[in-house]
Structure 1
Amino acid sequence: MEEQNAELYLFDIEGTTTPIEFVHKVLFPYSVQNFKPFFSETSAEKSFAEELILASKNESEYTEEVSDSPESLTKFCKYLVSKDRKLGILKEIQGRIWKKGYESGELKSTIFSDVPPFLERIRKSGKRAAVYSSGSVEAQVLIYKYCEAGDLTVYFEGYFDTAIGGKKESSSYTKIAEKLSLSPRSIVFFTDIKEEADAASEAGVRPILLSRPGNHPQAEHSYQVIQDFSKILA
């Protein structure tokens, strides 16, 4: 059993608390199926179309001109998903679509079984927990609110997405520490990506990598690697 000298635990989602398979085989396909209905609704904000058209200017591989028609926006969003782009506007749109799916009961998120007991240990020990993911803050909250284990949002005091900065940029972790009024050295960050661990480490945050089923192999590194949270006492 290992006890970490930390005041706050910062969690990535995909490949860390949630299986990669759930994100890529459930959430992404659900958004792809619902892009057109979303853009066809009169409630779809005009700014979404404007931002997507602007974003298309930076996609040299995408040769079609993007217009504000539901068909054009849908096709471009499907392209962005196929390329696994971490574009903020795409994440926001997906978050809106997933919200409807969760609230209707069509979607229920999968969380690794060792996560809820670990979150409870963190709370009982008087420590803190937060989330940092490339998915929008809204999407993060939905994953933890509508999961098979029940509503886990009670365990997290903050959520951060790429609006604060990219996950492979050390300044992002510095900003998160400042937002939480903590020294970076009092934060432990759980991720499944070496480059994110590098950025966190550069900022003074201690990274721990998760080696979950379905996770991608990482380049050689010297960080601590765990298979799950069962041996972390908090």
Structure 2
Amino acid sequence: MQIKHNLLDIEGTTAPITFVHEILFPYAKKHIHSFLKNYQFSEEKWKEIQIEYQKDFFSNDPSFIQKFMVENSNDQIPKELSINMVSLYFEYLIEKDRKFGPLKEVQGKIWKEGYESHEIKSTVYEDVPKFLKQSIQEGKQNHVYSSGSVEAQVLIYQYSVLGDLREYFTSYFDTAVGGKREKESYLRIANTLSALPSEIRFFTDIVEEADAASVAGMQVVILNRPGNLPQKPHSFPIWDHF
């Protein structure tokens, strides 16, 4: 089946893992408290945050206990999250690299301020623009699927050290379509693109994501970039670069 669409992960695929973990995450953590002072969550988002907090409250995770005990002089962790404590909880989620929608949304807005103030410039692998341009010349469309919010995805390509790369992408998907290790997520993306799964080639650095996309019927390539985490044995094609 002819490939008509490229679906690309970001972290460890088109951008180094170090950029995300050493630049973006620390920046969000540094600014999370000041940003949330004047931020209003929708009622739906606040319920989602409370549900997630309850899971952690009953998890007995030592790092969760330590994080909140330090901030509570009465030596008791609150059973319900207050608006005044949400920044502390989000800081905990950042440390855990939790793929949580409301957190990703807030991070995207914080990063937007950082990009626009020129405090942040994104690092994208040098072989990416040529690959994207060549794909378009071959009649393929390029799309992004990442756990970061769509807003955060756009910013990475808009403010890259290689220039504004947004012209090379047709659409962006985040975990609103589902988790990246779930077959159904890839089927939803194919449906949105009005394409057969077999007409889509998914690029990632994580075998479990590759497995889910493959089961959905997509073709898959694993990227082995410098600094990527070792993966369990698999039969997918491995590329060191585009």
- Note the alpha carbon deviations across 1:31-75, whole angstroms, 9 max, x for none: 00000110112xx11335554333201112334322101xx1221
Q: Report the counterpart of residue 68 of structure 1 in structure 2.
A: 83
How many residues get paired?
Answer: 222
Report if the CA contact (8 A) 1:99-1:142 is conserved: yes
User: Identity of aligned pairs, percent?
Assistant: 50
Are 1:34 and 2:47 counterparts?
no
Q: Report the counterpart of residue 184 of structure 1 in structure 2.
A: 197
Q: Report the counterpart of residue 73 of structure 2 in structure 1.
A: none
1:151 partner letter = D
Write the mapping of 1:116-127 to structure 2, written as runs, cut at 5 A: 116-127=129-140
Q: Report the counterpart of residue 96 of structure 1 in structure 2.
A: 109
Runs of at least 5 residues in structure 2 that lack an aligned partner in the other structure: 66-76
- CA drift of 1:16 comes to 0.1
Are 1:46 and 2:41 counterparts?
yes
Report if the CA contact (8 A) 1:34-1:97 is conserved: yes
- CA drift of 1:124 comes to 1.3
Q: Report the counterpart of residue 54 of structure 2 in structure 1.
A: 57
- CA drift of 1:185 comes to 0.2
2:149 to 136, 142, 149: 136
Q: 1:50 to 1:174 in 2, by over 3 A?
A: closer
**Bigger radius of gyration among the two:** 2
Measure, in 1, the Cα distance between the counterparts of 2:213 and 2:188: 11
Measure, in 2, the Cα distance between the counterparts of 1:50 and 1:224: 42
1:211 to 224, 228, 232: 224
RMSD between superposed Cα atoms in Å: 1.3
- Note the alpha carbon deviations across 1:133-187, whole angstroms, 9 max, x for none: 0000110000011101111111111100000010000111011000000000000
TM-score, normalised with respect to structure 2: 0.89
Measure, in 2, the Cα distance between the counterparts of 1:182 and 1:13: 22
2:207 to 189, 194, 199: 194
Report if the CA contact (8 A) 1:11-1:190 is conserved: yes
Are 1:14 and 2:22 counterparts?
no
Measure, in 1, the Cα distance between the counterparts of 2:144 and 2:34: 30
Runs of at least 5 residues in structure 1 that lack an aligned partner in the other structure: 230-234
Measure, in 2, the Cα distance between the counterparts of 1:218 and 1:193: 7
Q: Report the counterpart of residue 232 of structure 1 in structure 2.
A: none
1:178 partner letter = N
Kindly report structure 1 stretches of 4+ aligned residues shifted beyond 4 Å.
none
Measure, in 2, the Cα distance between the counterparts of 1:185 and 1:174: 10
2:204 partner letter = T
